[in-house]
Structure 1
């Protein structure tokens, strides 16, 4: 299962559209990103995208009260019932229409879906297995326009539904005698949100024009009476009462309502009266209210507006607590966690997600993806970080473990076209269309070098040699390659010879040879040592789009415009093979295409290439939703990955959708968003400010860049969806090695009891089960590790190295595994050097794991050292300031110093776990 890569995580996109939700404990935010769901763990500072996807972009998410189930509904009306514990889809359902919102009742037995101008109540799925998880209970009619929001009472007896017809409807979840439905008016614009008060039927309604109405109910929730059954139901109920009268005399039947209600129950219907009406826009300027959330226990109301401002009010007095601005973009969604401390805000225009702690006025989470599409990416040499560049001119660095961006560089004034790391891993070099190549330092987070050309040029690609001393960039307009010195920043040479734009650059990892691909159908090899001259020119059959060297530098792969991948021997300038990839791209048909998908595929090609860590395979992606892995020697397709199944993107379907075809043409030609401003219909030109010429378009699916991790365990791709990570999930796979009938877990444990550690370890590796491997390895005493390592065969040394590297990430036995690593490398070092090409991914994986522990431990040690020095300085200062006081005993003095040190050590450790720079995801806890 060497190529069993599975979707692991989605970075670079933190929020697209839909509603945000906090989990029950209030420590995680559930955010819809396109057609996927990402869970941001704010306590542990990690993000994780669930391995499931809907057919269209997600419209709304409903979370059960216990936090175990979630209902995810997309724009097409398809729903997924998801178990958040096991991260699996339990049920599929289609609501037959566009759903605006979904909400579970507080007791978890029902959920309501608003669709069109109706509200439908379903029985919520239970913990037992059911044939049909969604059973329709009731359908509620009343609003004349589309429904917009739902809110339940605390006891799940009633729920309120807001509508675009400026009315709010209160419905009974049961057949109440004194409340069937109640309509509330008083607004002059569409209802955005409605909220019940705690343990009451009192209601707050908010409209889009910034008006808040406070409604008081004359009946408490306990005053609702069940309606007495009539007809055959009443006869059946009377028969059951007669049968059970003798057996259970104390059994009450008032849950179904009495035929003759008591005198206290003979009251009128439920009535509402408006107590007050408040306005958010007191200055008179129009600022539409777009999202709201209310916390019943602390009476906190949070409202978001189209201008990016959000207010915090205390109800029912309507006292303003805060008024802050996130950005100048529309706030799409607002939610509050269960404790009322954190507020989550989502802006779809910027793709921004914020979590704000309103009491301390600080950010818990501040993340934003690239405003436009990502163009390029690069892994750091140890695999811990990924750097991405986008069309918005930003350079972002992502942590692969947490999934958060911890620094953003904004020095470029135009789109970034290429990014790369130096071999040290602490310098990032980027090229841009603004005519500059910049070098960024990851120690001080600054731009310390800016390389420019004599004449302004737009750079399309960048490359750095293995020593990190030479920086090269290719120009798109002057057809030249510029060479600079990293140390001095001076321009060393301008290489000319290409007759078309430079599309790709790559340095040989083993030699100072630069390969440049161009649209002039050639790839040139330049010697960086011998007078910058051209050593070879490789003639191609079509325009070159990408070029890359194999990790050992002995082979060169080139992607061309005719969908071919050609392989070359750079020493002899001989072509060694080619792969035809046109049929593997399998592009889709755009909505407005006049030709079929089969004919449109003729103009598509691979635009990015990357070799695997062992050099045996090549990864290719381009103008398609597929990424292909080819075997280089056999020149066959090994596996094909589908990057996205989101039909909200263009060029996803192979055939035209006949439902969108009419006798007048394609419905896609009709601009649905014309004449609308932020989703609000504009009645007349000039009434509201906005760009009347703006048009809606669907982004096209494509893969812009690919890169294998140096460890070989995962690979990343930048696409229209974001930064996708695919990794090997070895824990869920049974992949034995040389297995026979004599190898069983029982025999492994028997060999451990007999202290035959070598045989037990070999059998465990042949069975290849992680828990058994861990048990066998940790059973070896530390003084016998050297003996066991010396007796291991060469075939098993590689497997032990890989297991040690993966164990460093999860195990707490740091010293024990470091001892294993040291003995293994010392005893088998010479043999490992002979197989360095094959073992390089495992060694880099090991280096990455050890480097993570080194960074964490060194950071903690530095904080402890500084805090101990501070504690000593403070104790000396106290002794100087108070000379008149009687001297303490030695025991008391030592106790004081220790207590100060311990107190400051704890504080230092808390600060050390804080945020990075830029828009990082630091937790201020």
Structure 2
């Protein structure tokens, strides 16, 4: 009689154990988040919101496993960018209040503050190494900072509008910037000098990233087009790929050929670069613009934040095995945008029923020509 009783108790214990999920649960916030960043070596994510507050959360795939570690309200206005130091011990934040803050990750304590760091509201931030980081503001000014000296060591203004994004080459020599004036800037941070501006595009450039082992630069735009540049051919675009979206506001590379793009329609698209294809949808903030994407360096997760006051996690492990060849299948009329997320499928919500597979019709010839020349 004792054995069945023991089995019954074990079942009760199992029933109350936290359920393991494919991705961590959504993080709900009190205000819309502008920016997110993953810790380089721990299951921790930082969030900055429109009220100027900064939060640090641990996350887990266990049901109810997310936990707020601390919050900081040091910024007086909207926090626009957060980024961890490469060793994960510091968190850099920039704000509309023109200040740069460096926080201790363990406690959220303010370690360093650069007040009135720029003459205009800060908009972008890039940590370069243990000593150097770069910031860009709403007026197009770029500054390079050296923590050893406690001040900026390079100040340049070659953009006419806000600096929307920054990227660095593998040698940490050239810093690339995108701007609301439609140009990409190239700055030599080793020699502390400006190199060149690209020709202006027909819309604001919103983000920049490197692909194809650093041989290609991809810029997103407010007209829904991805602009491609060859490395060392920064003056003019080598190719472009128009998605049928109003604006692409953020980019994150997930493989050497696949980038995830967040847009104002709330959808995260996985896009293959050369050949240029929309592979499908990773996920969605329903009806709300996406502000930023971040890829976890230690887990197969993509995180996104949007105007719905949520941080969402997506499993992108399937993208690592996707191979897109040059052959383009003829599309069926009314074909749907393929969902790549088990999270969306498992939820029972058909987020993508009204969406159609997207590709750049008028750009196909240019696109195919570029893919032929990029056989490496």
* TM-score class normalised by the smaller sequence: 0.5 to 0.7
- Residue matched to 2:15: none
- 1:545/1:637 Cα in 2 relative to 1: closer, same or farther (>3 Å)? farther
Q: Is the 1:417–1:460 contact (alpha carbons within 8 Å) kept by the matching residues of 2? A: yes
Task: Report the CA distance between 1:613 and its aligned residue.
Answer: 1.9
Q: Is the 1:435–1:452 contact (alpha carbons within 8 Å) kept by the matching residues of 2? A: yes
Encode CA deviations 1:128-161: one digit per residue, 9 max, x unaligned. xxxxxxxxxxxxxxxxxxxxxxxxxxxxxxxxxx
Task: Report the CA distance between 1:368 and its aligned residue.
Answer: 6.7
CA distance in 2 between partners of 1:496 and 1:532 (Å): 6
1:267-416 maps to which residues of 2 (within 5 A)? 369-410=74-115, 411-416=117-122
Encode CA deviations 1:512-557: one digit per residue, 9 max, x unaligned. 432111112201121222464423312111111111112x423111
TM-score using structure 2 length:
0.64
Q: Is the 1:466–1:510 contact (alpha carbons within 8 Å) kept by the matching residues of 2? A: no
CA distance in 1 between partners of 2:132 and 2:212 (Å): 17
CA distance in 2 between partners of 1:555 and 1:457 (Å): 29
Q: Is the 2:84–2:90 contact (alpha carbons within 8 Å) kept by the matching residues of 1? A: yes
- 1:483/1:609 Cα in 2 relative to 1: closer, same or farther (>3 Å)? same
- Residue matched to 2:238: 535
Higher share in helix: 1
The more displaced of 367-376 and 535-544 is 367-376
CA distance in 2 between partners of 1:11 and 1:576 (Å): 28
Q: Does 1:620 align with 2:307?
A: no
CA distance in 1 between partners of 2:107 and 2:113 (Å): 16
CA distance in 2 between partners of 1:507 and 1:9 (Å): 23
CA distance in 2 between partners of 1:9 and 1:515 (Å): 25
Task: Report the CA distance between 1:510 and its aligned residue.
Answer: 3.3
- Residue matched to 1:468: 172
- 1:614/1:573 Cα in 2 relative to 1: closer, same or farther (>3 Å)? farther
- Residue matched to 2:131: 426
- 1:500/1:474 Cα in 2 relative to 1: closer, same or farther (>3 Å)? same
Encode CA deviations 1:360-417: one digit per residue, 9 max, x unaligned. xxxxxxx971110201111222222221111101111122123212111232112111
1:609 is aligned, of 276, 293, 316, to: 293
Task: Report the CA distance between 1:493 and its aligned residue.
Answer: 1.7
- 1:580/1:490 Cα in 2 relative to 1: closer, same or farther (>3 Å)? same
Task: Report the CA distance between 1:614 and its aligned residue.
Answer: 5.2
- 1:406/1:12 Cα in 2 relative to 1: closer, same or farther (>3 Å)? farther
Q: Is the 1:414–1:433 contact (alpha carbons within 8 Å) kept by the matching residues of 2? A: yes
* Number of aligned residue pairs: 272
Report SS of the residue matched to 2:94.
strand
Encode CA deviations 1:868-912: one digit per residue, 9 max, x unaligned. xxxxxxxxxxxxxxxxxxxxxxxxxxxxxxxxxxxxxxxxxxxxx
Q: Is the 1:466–1:507 contact (alpha carbons within 8 Å) kept by the matching residues of 2? A: no
- The answer to which structure, 1 or 2, has the higher relative contact order (CA under 8 A, 6+ apart) is 2
- Residue matched to 1:498: 201
CA distance in 2 between partners of 1:626 and 1:561 (Å): 15
Encode CA deviations 1:421-474: one digit per residue, 9 max, x unaligned. 11x332111110133111111223221111221x64332222222222111222
TM-score using structure 1 length:
0.27
1:770-849 maps to which residues of 2 (within 5 A)? none
CA distance in 1 between partners of 2:150 and 2:279 (Å): 44
Q: Is the 2:26–2:312 contact (alpha carbons within 8 Å) kept by the matching residues of 1? A: no
Q: Does 1:548 align with 2:252?
A: yes
Encode CA deviations 1:811-849: one digit per residue, 9 max, x unaligned. xxxxxxxxxxxxxxxxxxxxxxxxxxxxxxxxxxxxxxx
CA RMSD, 1 decimal: 3.4
Q: Is the 2:26–2:310 contact (alpha carbons within 8 Å) kept by the matching residues of 1? A: no
CA distance in 2 between partners of 1:547 and 1:431 (Å): 18
Q: Does 1:576 align with 2:279?
A: yes
- Residue matched to 1:806: none
CA distance in 1 between partners of 2:214 and 2:90 (Å): 26
Encode CA deviations 1:76-134: one digit per residue, 9 max, x unaligned. xxxxxxxxxxxxxxxxxxxxxxxxxxxxxxxxxxxxxxxxxxxxxxxxxxxxxxxxxxx
- Residue matched to 1:442: 147
CA distance in 1 between partners of 2:197 and 2:150 (Å): 30
1:517 is aligned, of 208, 216, 220, to: 220
Higher share in strand: 2
CA distance in 1 between partners of 2:174 and 2:276 (Å): 24
- Unaligned segments of structure 1, at least 5 residues: 17-32, 37-49, 54-350, 352-366, 584-600, 640-925
- 1:529/1:370 Cα in 2 relative to 1: closer, same or farther (>3 Å)? same
Encode CA deviations 1:186-228: one digit per residue, 9 max, x unaligned. xxxxxxxxxxxxxxxxxxxxxxxxxxxxxxxxxxxxxxxxxxx
- 1:637/1:395 Cα in 2 relative to 1: closer, same or farther (>3 Å)? farther
Task: Report the CA distance between 1:619 and its aligned residue.
Answer: 1.1
Q: Is the 2:212–2:257 contact (alpha carbons within 8 Å) kept by the matching residues of 1? A: no
1:107-146 maps to which residues of 2 (within 5 A)? none
Task: Report the CA distance between 1:580 and its aligned residue.
Answer: 5.3
1:735-774 maps to which residues of 2 (within 5 A)? none
- 1:630/1:435 Cα in 2 relative to 1: closer, same or farther (>3 Å)? same
CA distance in 1 between partners of 2:299 and 2:233 (Å): 28
- 1:534/1:378 Cα in 2 relative to 1: closer, same or farther (>3 Å)? same
Task: Report the CA distance between 1:9 and its aligned residue.
Answer: 9.4
Report SS of the residue matched to 2:256.
coil
CA distance in 2 between partners of 1:630 and 1:535 (Å): 32
Encode CA deviations 1:603-637: one digit per residue, 9 max, x unaligned. x2212111222573321111012222122337225
CA distance in 1 between partners of 2:45 and 2:231 (Å): 39
Q: Is the 1:559–1:566 contact (alpha carbons within 8 Å) kept by the matching residues of 2? A: yes
- 1:10/1:429 Cα in 2 relative to 1: closer, same or farther (>3 Å)? closer
Report SS of the residue matched to 1:534.
coil
Q: Is the 2:23–2:314 contact (alpha carbons within 8 Å) kept by the matching residues of 1? A: no
- Residue matched to 1:507: 210
